[in-house]
Amino acid sequence: MLNIILFGPPGSGKGTQANLLKEKYQLLHISTGDLLREEIANGTKLGLEAKTLMDKGELVPDEVVVGMIQSKLDANKKAKGLILDGFPRTVKQAEALDQLLGELNSPINALVSIVVDEEELKQRLLLRGKESGRPDDQNESIIENRIKEYKNKTTAVATYYENKGKLHEINGVGDVETINKLICSTLDSMSKF
Ligand code: ADP
């Protein structure tokens, strides 16, 4: 199995790249942001609770997203591998993930960190807000809060996997295809699969 975490700040292009990679490597794509937006669209209790936090640019509780990941893994036991996008976002989530994957004897192979500077992120998110109408992309102070949450709670996840020798950083400024090639060559050059 090939289990990859696509990592990076909001607006770094994780979703776009995940969609390309899942085709090439035949992986199950799990985006906790998409799963949460599905819950909101379905009007579930979980969705309603998550929405109040997401609209402020805050993270939803670890137990909520870990529970969603667990159900996805349970429902897809035959997956050839995973591409995780937007998860894990805290060290607690990373530890829970490693526990779940440990039970499946299928650990994370790599965390690919997409590096984009803050000014570029803000511009991209504001543009995405105009095009997609995502409420958390509409307003600069919400975007700043998401970047703050990323710095305070999420960057430690990269260090967590760096300590396990699994961190791969790539430059995320450029066109989609160039960045995709960088990620693919990183994955193809990994010895473990
Ligand atoms: P982006 O990476 O562009 O911010 P996402 O779709 O990944 O977009 O996430 C949108 C929002 O969903 C986040 O700001 C957060 O509130 C919530 N969210 C998504 N994934 C997680 C997670 N793993 N842990 C906590 N909150 C999450």
CA of 173 from ligand 1 middle (Å) equals 21
Per-residue pLDDT of the chain (193 residues; tens, 9 = 90+): 899 999 999 999 999 999 999 999 999 999 999 999 999 999 999 999 999 999 999 999 999 999 999 999 999 999 999 999 999 999 999 999 999 999 999 999 999 999 999 999 999 999 999 998 899 999 999 999 999 999 999 999 999 999 999 999 999 999 999 999 999 999 999 865 5
Ramachandran angles phi, psi of 57, nearest 5°: 80, 20
Which of 105, 103, 101 is CA-nearest to residue 87? Answer: 101
Show the tokens assigned to 136.
């958390």
CA distance 126 to 165: 35
What kind of fold does domain 2-187 have according to CATH?
Rossmann fold (3.40.50)
pTM listed for this prediction: 0.95
- Ligand 1 contacts (CB < 6 A) are 10-11, 32-33, 36, 53-54, 57-60, 65, 86-87, 89, 93, 136, 146
